[in-house]
Amino acid sequence: MANGPHISIKQLKIDKANTTMLVVIAVAAFVVVFSLISSKTLISQYNYQNRVINAKRVTYNQLKIDVNNATSLEASYESFENQPLNILGQSPSGSSQNSGDNAKIILDALPSQYDFPGFVSSIGNLLSSQNYVINSVTGTDLGSSEPSSLSSGQSTPVQIPFEISVTGTYTTVQQLISTLQLSIRPIVIQQVDLSGTDAALEADITAYTYYQPGVNFSLGTEVVK
- State the Cα–Cα distance between residues 133 and 203, nearest whole angstrom: 10
* pLDDT value, residue 152: 57
Tens of pLDDT, residue by residue over 100-146, are: 888 888 877 888 888 888 888 888 888 888 888 899 988 876 655 55
For residue 34, is pLDDT > 50?
yes
Higher pLDDT, 165 or 125: 165
Tens of pLDDT, residue by residue over 84-94, are: 888 778 888 87
For residue 3, is pLDDT > 60?
no
Highest mean pLDDT among 20-24, 32-36, 141-145, 200-204: 200-204
Residue 195 is given by DSSP the state E
* pLDDT value, residue 1: 45
In 10 A of CB 181, how many CB atoms?
10
